[in-house]
Amino acid sequence: MLIEVTPEDHGVVVDLAYATADNFTGRPIYRRAACYLHAEALAKLERARDLAAAQGLRLKILDAFRPAEAQWALWSHTPDPQFVADPRRGSAHGRGAAVDLTLLDADGAELDMGTAFDAFAPQAHHGRTDISATAQRNRALLLGLMTAAGWEFYAHEWWHYQLFDARTRFPLLSDSVLPIPMMR
């Protein structure tokens, strides 16, 4: 079951990159900006939110549930399985079991993570030492918060976290499961 994640109800900032042209495709993928997660993922997100808040930080969600139709649009633009999941296999996003996010400071400014979201470059990988020491610390902080909350990380994207065994535990979902479509 997918649950809508809103700033008012969940205490996070929602700024979905694929609902705007400010993403690697250069055009909006979602027609309606709405953030959804599976109930299990939402519980872990709320735990991460609480851990971040204890340090004076907030979570900013850049993507969450991604309908199968959106995955096809991304793959059609950039069929690179290192950064975009092949829609024939699907991704944890397509199951409502993944979230792309960053951290905000007390003033609402994004912490420096060394690269932008969706930077298709080796510098976007976890454990990089060719980014500033500040960015390395910020990535380690995000990694610590998310793993302490029960998330699995993806080695090639500092922003991506997913539930363990998502591909085997949750079905792929299309836009049709939503009460109000994101794609149409």
- Enzyme catalytic residues: 157
The Cα 82–Cα 12 span in angstroms is 28
137: helix, strand or coil = helix
Q: How many separate helices (H) and strands (E) can be counted in the chain?
A: 5, 7
Measured between its terminal Cα atoms, the distance across the chain in Å is: 21
Q: What is the DSSP code (8-state) at residue 17?
A: G
Parallel, antiparallel, or unpaired: how do β-strands 36-38 and 98-104 relate? unpaired
Residue 100 CA to residue 106 CA, distance in Å, equals: 20
Q: Which amino acid is at 4?
A: E
Give the position of tokens 């998330």: 151
d(CA 150, CA 34): 24
